């Protein structure tokens, strides 16, 4: 802004003399000089307005982390610096090249270290655990999307949580009465463990599936479950209950049939993965433990999980529907998942498979239509054909994205569980 006025002050004389000399012209008449200085001065408000826009984009990035903002800023910066410096160099204005380089670096270097500011999610107050009974809970997968908030919720209510992890640095976001262990051998035979929650396993959506990765999906789940079985075998006082992870993928591929805990599974990789994991977990019953198999649906949460991936095109301005949109999405809010875990720990009369899904599943088309009003940037709408989805992500498309199950939480409803978010619109309003 100061540039608009500084060009008429004596401090700018040296610059304009060099400018005239670069073009090989004499100092023009006062009227022409005044006009040229005014034209250069008008560049000041232009730069200032773009500076305000840059500040707005940086603020949006820090608050919301939209992925497109940082590449767009770098692209605009590079385009300006290269073109402006190239034109200046062509006319012999070396000073402009140096100024442009200094200005570009002064923006690009801090931008490199800029990160979105993530507000810590509020710790959920679990409704179904007695605060007076202090439990000692062993948790695997405690640094994951479900495990981390579950550890915080349990520890905030006074329960002691032992978290098995290979990297203790990942526990920085977990607070309260928590203890990090890197090996189950660190637990002595005479230690008290009231409950085990087993959520560990190789993430399914981290990259494209292949034969090696599918073996790793299965091995990682079976290995940790078998290690827990050996731990229980040597403990003098056996834990009361095991909550073992699984997924609605157990049921395999279905169309519109409503599925509850008594429904059979259809063969396929997802079914085999969940079935074998559940069978290994059920071996704990031989030691008198109650085993709950958590058949978890599509968990919607704030800082990660499926919703983070599903809303990427929405944030970029396009509401995307995958395939025909007729595939079912057995969704559930993360807060309900944590509350259900508390209910299962506290309820000695619940065992076996338990569907962790909301009572009102929707199709993917309905999900996209419901999400769109909650994300203001999603102005356009399109359908991504099934073949293109398969080309992009491979086998995972048919196993996860283009197929689904109309799963209902019959067992939870029979035992009186009250969902915090029974309707999708309520859940997305809370999250998006």
Asked whether 299 and 326 are in contact (CB, 8 A), the reply is no
In terms of domains, do 46 and 154 share one? no
Whether 126 is covered by a domain: the verdict is no
pLDDT of residue 368: 92
Q: Which two tokens stand for residue 265?
A: 């599974």
**Residues in the chain, overall count:** 432
In terms of domains, do 143 and 105 share one? no
Name which of 424, 392, 379 is nearest 323 in CA terms: 392
Q: Is the dihedral of CA 355, 357, 363, 365 positive or negative?
A: negative
Whether 121 is covered by a domain: the verdict is no
Looking at 75, 97, 112, which one is the last position of a domain? 112
Whether 58 is covered by a domain: the verdict is yes
In terms of domains, do 74 and 200 share one? no
Secondary structure (DSSP) of 47-82: HHHHHHHHHHHHHHHHHH--TTHHHHHHHHHHHHHH
Tell me phi and psi for residue 292, to 5 degrees.
-110, 125
In terms of domains, do 150 and 14 share one? no
pLDDT of residue 147: 92
Name which of 116, 140, 152, 270 is nearest 205 in CA terms: 270
pLDDT digits (tens, 9 = 90+) for 47-81: 888 889 988 999 888 877 777 888 899 999 999 89
Using CA atoms, how far residue 403 sits from 21, 271, 364, in Å, is 71, 13, 10
pLDDT of residue 29: 85
Looking at 112, 128, 163, which one is the last position of a domain? 112
Domain that holds residue 104: 3-112
Residues 322, 384: Cα–Cα separation, whole Å:
5
Q: Are strands 362-363 and 298-300 parallel, antiparallel or unpaired?
A: unpaired
pLDDT of residue 173: 67
Whether 78 is covered by a domain: the verdict is yes
Residues of the chain with pLDDT under 50: none
Q: Which two tokens stand for residue 40?
A: 């250069």
Whether 215 is covered by a domain: the verdict is yes
In terms of domains, do 18 and 58 share one? yes
Residues 292, 229: Cα–Cα separation, whole Å:
15
Whether 91 is covered by a domain: the verdict is yes
Contacts of 8 (CB under 8 A, 6+ apart): 34, 37, 38, 41
CATH classification at residue 228: 3.40.50.720
In terms of domains, do 63 and 201 share one? no
In terms of domains, do 152 and 21 share one? no
Residues 116, 71: Cα–Cα separation, whole Å:
14
pLDDT of residue 117: 74
pLDDT of residue 121: 62
Secondary structure (DSSP) of 81-103: HHHHHHHHHHTT-HHHHHHHHHH
Residues 21, 152: Cα–Cα separation, whole Å:
69
In terms of domains, do 254 and 385 share one? yes
pLDDT of residue 27: 80
Whether 127 is covered by a domain: the verdict is no
Contacts of 170 (CB under 8 A, 6+ apart): 143
Name which of 313, 432, 297, 303 is nearest 375 in CA terms: 432
Whether 129 is covered by a domain: the verdict is no
pLDDT digits (tens, 9 = 90+) for 261-283: 999 998 889 999 999 999 999 99
In terms of domains, do 247 and 98 share one? no
In terms of domains, do 241 and 388 share one? yes
In terms of domains, do 98 and 160 share one? no
In terms of domains, do 192 and 288 share one? yes
pLDDT of residue 138: 96
Number of domains the chain is built from: 2
| Long-range residue pairs from 165-169, CB within 8 A, at least 24 positions apart, any chain | 167/143
Asked whether 91 and 22 are in contact (CB, 8 A), the reply is yes
Q: Are strands 362-363 and 328-329 parallel, antiparallel or unpaired?
A: antiparallel
pLDDT of residue 225: 96
pLDDT of residue 175: 74
Residues 240, 196: Cα–Cα separation, whole Å:
8
Residue 161: helix, strand or coil by DSSP?
Answer: strand
Looking at 76, 97, 112, which one is the last position of a domain? 112
């Amino acid at each position: 802004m100061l540039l608009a006025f500084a060009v008429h002050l004596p401090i700018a004389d040296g610059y304009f003399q060099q400018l005239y000399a670069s073009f090989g012209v004499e100092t023009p008449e006062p009227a022409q000089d005044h006009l040229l200085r005014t034209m250069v001065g008008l560049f000041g408000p232009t730069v200032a307005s773009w500076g305000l826009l840059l500040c707005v984009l940086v603020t949006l990035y820090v608050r919301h982390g939209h992925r497109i903002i940082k590449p767009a800023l770098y692209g605009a910066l590079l385009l300006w610096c290269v073109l402006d410096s190239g034109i200046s160099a062509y006319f012999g204005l070396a000073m402009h090249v140096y100024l442009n380089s200094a200005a570009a670096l002064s923006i690009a270097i801090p931008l490199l270290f800029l990160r979105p500011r993530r507000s810590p999610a509020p710790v959920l107050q679990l409704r179904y655990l007695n605060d007076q009974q202090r439990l000692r809970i062993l948790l695997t997968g405690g640094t994951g999307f479900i495990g981390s908030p579950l550890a915080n919720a349990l520890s905030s209510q006074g329960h002691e949580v032992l978290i098995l992890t290979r990297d203790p640095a990942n526990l920085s976001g977990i607070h309260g009465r928590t203890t990090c262990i890197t090996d189950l051998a660190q637990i002595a035979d005479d230690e008290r463990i009231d409950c085990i929650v087993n959520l560990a396993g190789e993430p399914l959506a981290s990259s494209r599936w292949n034969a090696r990765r599918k073996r790793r999906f299965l091995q990682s789940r079976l290995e940790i479950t078998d290690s827990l079985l050996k731990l229980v075998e040597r403990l003098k006082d056996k834990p009361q209950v095991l909550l073992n992870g699984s997924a609605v993928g157990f049921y395999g591929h279905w169309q519109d049939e409503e599925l509850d805990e008594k429904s059979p599974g259809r063969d396929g990789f997802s079914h085999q993965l969940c079935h074998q994991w559940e069978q290994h977990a059920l071996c704990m019953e031989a030691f008198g433990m109650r085993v709950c198999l958590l058949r978890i649906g599509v968990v919607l949460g704030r800082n990660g999980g499926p919703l983070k991936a599903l809303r990427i095109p929405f944030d970029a301005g396009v509401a995307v529907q995958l395939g025909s949109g007729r595939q079912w999405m057995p969704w559930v809010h993360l807060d309900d998942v944590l509350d259900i875990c508390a209910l299962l720990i506290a309820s000695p009369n619940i065992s076996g498979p338990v569907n962790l899904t909301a009572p009102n599943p929707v199709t993917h088309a309905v999900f996209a239509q419901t999400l769109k009003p909650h994300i203001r940037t999603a102005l356009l709408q399109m359908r991504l054909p099934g073949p293109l989805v398969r080309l992009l992500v491979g086998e995972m498309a048919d196993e996860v994205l283009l197929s689904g199950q109309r799963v209902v939480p019959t067992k939870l409803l029979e035992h009186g569980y009250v969902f915090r978010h029974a309707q999708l619109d309520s859940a997305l309003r809370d999250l998006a």
